[in-house]
Amino acid sequence: MSRMIKMDLETAPEGAVIVQDIKDNLGRLLVKSPRTLDADLKRVLLLRGIREVLVQDNSRKSREELDMMLEKEKESVRRRFSRLSDSPEKEQIIRLFVQALEEYAGEQNLKAP
C-alpha cells in the first residue's frame, strides 16, 4: 500500500491522485476519491476554499530513508542553536523545534510507527 501525504493544493502537481473525499465547509461532497488532480479541478477547489488535499505519495523513498531525513533535520536544528550559550530557554527552544518537526513528519505520514 502506498503512503498518503497532505499537500497544499496550490503546490500539488497535476496528475496527483486525491485519495480522500473532499467536502466543503457545509459537508457537501465536492470530490469523490480516488480522483486525478488536473488544472480545472484545482482551480474549482481553490475557488471553493479548499487549501489542502490528501494525495498518494508516489515517491520511491523508503520509511528508513524518510526517518533518516527527519533525524538529519533534527540534528540540523541542534547545530543551528549550538552557538547560543547553554540555558534552559535554549533547550526549550530546541525541544519545541524538534517537536514541531516530529509532528509535521507524523502528519505527512513520514515517520515510521
Residue 32 has a pLDDT of 96
User: With helix as H, strand as E and coil as C, how does the chain read?
Assistant: CCCEEEEECCCCCCCCEECCCEECCCCCEEECCCEECCHHHHHHHHHCCCCEEEEECCCCCCHHHHHHHHHHHHHHHHHHCCCCCCCHHHHHHHHHHHHHHHHHHHHCCCCCC
Q: Are residues 9 and 51 in the same domain?
A: yes
26 assigned to some structural domain: yes
Question: Which residues in the chain come in under a pLDDT of 70?
Answer: 1-2, 59-62, 107-113
Residue 111 has a pLDDT of 43
Contact at 8 Å (CB) between 51 and 12?
Answer: no
Q: Are residues 51 and 8 in the same domain?
A: yes
112 assigned to some structural domain: no
Residues in the chain, overall count: 113
Residue 17 has a pLDDT of 92
36 assigned to some structural domain: yes
C-alpha cell belonging to residue 38: 488536473
Residue 46 has a pLDDT of 94
113 assigned to some structural domain: no
Residue 61 has a pLDDT of 62
Range of the domain at 89: 63-107
Q: Are residues 22 and 40 in the same domain?
A: yes
Q: Which residue has the cell 502528519?
A: 107
9 assigned to some structural domain: yes
Q: Are residues 47 and 69 in the same domain?
A: no
92 assigned to some structural domain: yes
Q: What is the mean pLDDT of the chain?
A: 85
